[in-house]
Structure 1
Amino acid sequence: MFICTVKDQGCTWSKTLYSRDIIVFTFSYAFELSSTSLEQIIFWLRVEYLALPFIPVFLLLMCIEYIGQRIKKVWQYALFIIPFITIFLHYTNDLHHLYYKSMELRSDSPFPIIKLVGGPWFYVQSLFLFLCVMISIIILLKQVKKSSFRFRMQISMMVAGLLIPIMANYYYINGLSSYGIDLGPVSMSITFIFHGAALLTFQMFNVAPIARETVFESMKEGVIVLNQQGLIVDYNHGMRKVIPMLGEHSIGKSITSVLNGNYHLSEIIELKQDSDFNCSLNGKLVHYHIGFSTVLNKSNLPIGQIITFTNVTERVLMLEKLKQLASLDGLTQILNRTFFIYESEMLFDALSMEGGSVSVIMFDIDHFKDVNDTFGHEAGDAVITLVANTAKEHIREGDLLGRYGGEEFIICLPDTALDTAYELADIIRKKVSESIAVVNEEKISVTCSFGVTHVLIKAGDRSQSIKTLMPRADQALYAAKKNGRNCVKIIA
């Protein structure tokens, strides 16, 4: 905020630095409010204290210059002693706790807010700020009688603006502000409004819209505020991504009327319970976690509700990726034994509802130990991967392929006849025998033996499972090995 004197002397250094520090302090506090961790809040708190201690000094010097007076350089320098001590003690607070006795996050706020317990020097700085503001007010009031009506109104508005931070700091220091939010930046914004009305011709501006834009509109979370009757009080830009029909016309309307047609979201909001919600944005599925916070008045009575939509898509995708990694065999990228059995049991449960059939193929690599002994384990891994990829290429979507053991594999085929399963096993057998794995310039070829079994499941029959079929498929595999290997055997 750039302020010029009524004597039209131009903007002096005190006004410029005062404006700069106010802006730094307000914006830093805005970023503090939008922080998501104690470390981020402390960082912005330190940035605030690069400006905050000097604000009362520059305010006082500005008011002195406003009336056309000057003070000696030595007194100007003396005014900066306490601010510099404040900065030093604030940045070294962990060593002595003279400025803050403790710094921790509040547990009763809807978003991260730091709870500060002031030390001895905190109150010295607060008293210094109070004295500077009060002296500034006295300086301005002394000019009222000497000024014309126009400038009396101007000075009165400026004085009124300076009284607001005093009251705001009184509420903050005494713990009367909601959730312990520092009212200083907001009160200074109101001060700017008064100063803007007082010096309109000099085009003063306030920081309130900027602060709101920074804190509310730039939040990643979508936020919508409802009153006790479920009417929309406010919302931020992030909320329009979730509810595109929101607009200025939505203020004062019920949330259910705005959500007309989105029954799932309406039901979640009516239940007022934290929940997960999915929607499509620009053709992509986005996952949100919906949180509800009740707004209470000073009598601890509910007067409204804050609903937050936090985008958890990245977390959901990460969990899905971790689940996928946990379900896959690390070498072959097919299902590991545990998840193959789990998925197969789910498949059997589904088939038992209406009935159907299942075929199971179990196969392993012939003389695999010889491959390891002759060419090494690297070659063994290459051969296992080759066999797995060959089988993967020939199964259908919905079929389950898993690595059952070291060189042993298993396939579960829903709604597949026995002869079809036999044909598939024989195709895989031929393809494996025709394939060659090259490791360290060595060409390695292997064969596989296959055992196939089949079962018909009647509707309501839960006696069949993958665990009942695996022994039969294993017997068929054993028969294939006794028959000379590289063949397919059936046990119906």
Structure 2
Amino acid sequence: MLNELFMYTFTVIIAGVLSLFLCFYAQFRLKDAPGVRPYILVALFSAFFTFSYAFELASPSLERIKFWLNIEYLAMPFIPVFILLMCFEYVGQKLKPYLYYILFVIPIITIFMHETNGLHHLYYTSMGLNSDSPFPILKVEHGAWFYVHSIFLFLCLMISIITLLMKLKKAKFRFRMQIILMVSGIVMPIIANYFYLNGLSPYGIDLGPISMSISFIFHGAALLFYQMFNVTPIARDSVFESMKDGVLVLNQNGVIVDFNHAMLDVIPNLKSQVIGKSIVDGYGQLADIIRLEAELDYELCLDEEKTYYHIRFSTVRNKNNKIIGKIITFVNVTERVLLQEQLKNLASMDGLTEVYSRNFFMQESEKMMESLSMTWGKVSVIMFDIDHFKNVNDSFGHEAGDRVLAHVAGLAKESLRSTDIIGRYGGEEFILLLPDTPLIAAYELAQSIRVKITESVTPFMNQEIHVTSSFGVSSAQIMEGDHSQTLKNLMREADQALYGAKRKGRNYVELFEQAFEYSS
């Protein structure tokens, strides 16, 4: 008698130890994998249930047995729910939030009915000890709610099994072994309860807790040998939602089918309610880009902060190769775009004076001239340099010369419009292109800059450096088709005028017309 009782109790304890071990193993090794959190709760509640049942088997009286039975029912009703949730997460099925709450309604009612059974006898109609057993074993007559709970438990387990088996055909070997072992572990309590409910278990012992030792052997094999939960066959939520890139899924009619959490960084007002609505409704420029399937860098400005995304498109086809939708991916390329802008600035700007380099000045001027040729606009060019700049370097050193160059460039920039272009032409020489500016206006601007430079000083090591500048000005009306040649002519004319200013004693503004007359 004692040997039989020890065997049953020992088997139940082994089941509890196994489930507790797998609970800790999953918690510390696999806690972020899909399906692991419900599995941890399954293992924890199962350990609680089986250890409580071991105490029930060891109890010498009906009162002690009832006490441990009530303890068991604090955990047992939730186990099938967590198994179901585990299987849903494992295959990537997402339940709506309200369904989670509904699933826990019957277990909570079951606990209430069980703990208050003495008031209504809806769970057990009678309770006593089995007279045919060599040791105290509970014998009960089941009430109506017991069968409600049993049907609920059976449905949860069967739906779990079906959910797993539906993925078996498409799964690779490792995943198939995971699924087979998981299903085997879930089937064992169903078989054990069949024997118990039909009076086929020895002495009427509840074989459910005993069967869990076999269940967790299967689960242990799946975890340790086939990496259950490490990689899942269709872990949609884990992969899709954890992607750093925003993903938007549309059907063939441009209707939003799905999106991941990262898309909220791109379109903050995306909510679950947009599912089933067209992308063209309320998304402005982005909708146009998606409609045209234009792969490009998209600039997003939120809270005065710019973010850049590269938009990519890929089609979704069915088995008949028919297009049924498209996937739009938003890859954050902000670092790349900012780096390109920095490199562009380094290539386009003169680092010392912070004006355009000569090459970039020519590029921007060509664009401006082409634009002006469409309207036959007037344009002027000013070239100027710092008088006797070599003397500054010889007297104060090259560092002082650099200070003077930066100071003079800054004074010139202060006088320009946003449409004007300034560049460092070489050494101490600068060039300005002034769109929509006649000769007289360019002359007045040059005079203004000349006076500023003359009246200002450049501080350097407790000294003040005074310099002057000479200016040459040319102007022309841009004719359609000849803008490139006109720019070269204007630069040559401004250069001739500049040398005319130097011949007149420097610190002077010379117009090309005057320089031409003087040289002739």
Please report how far the alpha carbon of residue 294 of structure 1 lies from its aligned counterpart in structure 2 after TM superposition: 3.9
Partner in structure 1 of residue 495 of structure 2: 474
Provide Cα deviations, 1:335-371, integer angstroms capped at 9, x if missing partner.
1111111111111101000111111111111111111
Please report how far the alpha carbon of residue 420 of structure 1 lies from its aligned counterpart in structure 2 after TM superposition: 1.7
**From 433, 454, 458, the counterpart of 2:454:** 433
Partner in structure 1 of residue 23 of structure 2: 19
The answer to whether 1:394 aligns with 2:415 is: yes
The answer to whether 1:239 aligns with 2:263 is: yes
Aligned-partner Cα distance in 2 for 1:67–1:139: 20
TM-score, with structure 1 as normaliser: 0.61
Partner in structure 1 of residue 442 of structure 2: 421
Which stretch of structure 1 is more off in the superposition, 160-169 or 233-242? 160-169
The amino acid that maps onto 1:21 is Y
> Could you tell me whether the CA contact under 8 Å between 1:144 and 1:155 is conserved in 2?
no
Gaps of 5+ in 1: 31-47, 49-54, 70-122, 174-181, 190-207
> Could you tell me whether the CA contact under 8 Å between 2:12 and 2:209 is conserved in 1?
no
The amino acid that maps onto 1:239 is M
**From 352, 359, 371, the counterpart of 1:338:** 359
1:5-44 matches, cutoff 5 A: 15-28=19-32
> Could you tell me whether the CA contact under 8 Å between 1:26 and 1:185 is conserved in 2?
no
> Could you tell me whether the CA contact under 8 Å between 2:182 and 2:222 is conserved in 1?
no
Partner in structure 2 of residue 113 of structure 1: none
> Could you tell me whether the CA contact under 8 Å between 1:63 and 1:139 is conserved in 2?
no
Aligned-partner Cα distance in 2 for 1:269–1:158: 55
Please report how far the alpha carbon of residue 403 of structure 1 lies from its aligned counterpart in structure 2 after TM superposition: 0.6
Partner in structure 1 of residue 248 of structure 2: 224
**From 308, 316, 334, the counterpart of 2:329:** 308
The answer to whether 1:324 aligns with 2:345 is: yes
Please report how far the alpha carbon of residue 222 of structure 1 lies from its aligned counterpart in structure 2 after TM superposition: 1.9
> Could you tell me whether the CA contact under 8 Å between 1:358 and 1:455 is conserved in 2?
yes
Aligned-partner Cα distance in 2 for 1:160–1:302: 45
Aligned-partner Cα distance in 2 for 1:126–1:231: 34
Inter-CA distance 266–169: structure 2 relative to 1 (3 Å threshold):
farther
Partner in structure 2 of residue 446 of structure 1: 467
Partner in structure 1 of residue 110 of structure 2: none
Inter-CA distance 294–159: structure 2 relative to 1 (3 Å threshold):
farther
Inter-CA distance 168–302: structure 2 relative to 1 (3 Å threshold):
farther
Inter-CA distance 344–14: structure 2 relative to 1 (3 Å threshold):
same
Partner in structure 1 of residue 402 of structure 2: 381
Inter-CA distance 303–431: structure 2 relative to 1 (3 Å threshold):
closer
1:282-301 matches, cutoff 5 A: 282-295=303-316
1:67-78 matches, cutoff 5 A: none
Please report how far the alpha carbon of residue 290 of structure 1 lies from its aligned counterpart in structure 2 after TM superposition: 1.7
1:118-129 matches, cutoff 5 A: none
**From 359, 375, 379, the counterpart of 1:358:** 379
> Could you tell me whether the CA contact under 8 Å between 2:384 and 2:429 is conserved in 1?
yes
Partner in structure 1 of residue 286 of structure 2: 265
Aligned-partner Cα distance in 1 for 2:314–2:210: 43
**From 426, 437, 440, the counterpart of 1:405:** 426
Inter-CA distance 440–362: structure 2 relative to 1 (3 Å threshold):
same
Q: What percent identity do the matched residue pairs reach?
A: 45
The amino acid that maps onto 1:379 is A
- Tell me how large the CA RMSD over aligned residues is: 4.9
Q: Report the 3-state secondary structure (helix = DSSP H, G, I; strand = E; otherwise coil) of the residue aligned with 2:426.
A: coil
Q: Report the 3-state secondary structure (helix = DSSP H, G, I; strand = E; otherwise coil) of the residue aligned with 1:320.
A: helix
Aligned-partner Cα distance in 1 for 2:373–2:214: 82
Inter-CA distance 161–413: structure 2 relative to 1 (3 Å threshold):
farther
Q: Report the 3-state secondary structure (helix = DSSP H, G, I; strand = E; otherwise coil) of the residue aligned with 2:476.
A: strand
**From 269, 277, 286, the counterpart of 2:298:** 277
Aligned-partner Cα distance in 1 for 2:462–2:428: 22
Q: Report the 3-state secondary structure (helix = DSSP H, G, I; strand = E; otherwise coil) of the residue aligned with 1:411.
A: strand
Gaps of 5+ in 2: 1-8, 55-172, 200-205, 514-520
The amino acid that maps onto 1:22 is A
The answer to whether 1:484 aligns with 2:505 is: yes
Inter-CA distance 487–237: structure 2 relative to 1 (3 Å threshold):
same
Q: Report the 3-state secondary structure (helix = DSSP H, G, I; strand = E; otherwise coil) of the residue aligned with 1:449.
A: strand
Partner in structure 2 of residue 249 of structure 1: 273
> Could you tell me whether the CA contact under 8 Å between 1:165 and 1:184 is conserved in 2?
no
1:60-209 matches, cutoff 5 A: 143=192, 147-148=196-197, 184-186=230-232
Please report how far the alpha carbon of residue 470 of structure 1 lies from its aligned counterpart in structure 2 after TM superposition: 0.9
Aligned-partner Cα distance in 2 for 1:17–1:442: 81
Please report how far the alpha carbon of residue 319 of structure 1 lies from its aligned counterpart in structure 2 after TM superposition: 1.9
Q: Report the 3-state secondary structure (helix = DSSP H, G, I; strand = E; otherwise coil) of the residue aligned with 1:404.
A: strand
Which stretch of structure 1 is more off in the superposition, 459-468 or 394-403? 459-468
Aligned-partner Cα distance in 2 for 1:64–1:126: 29
Aligned-partner Cα distance in 2 for 1:448–1:309: 53
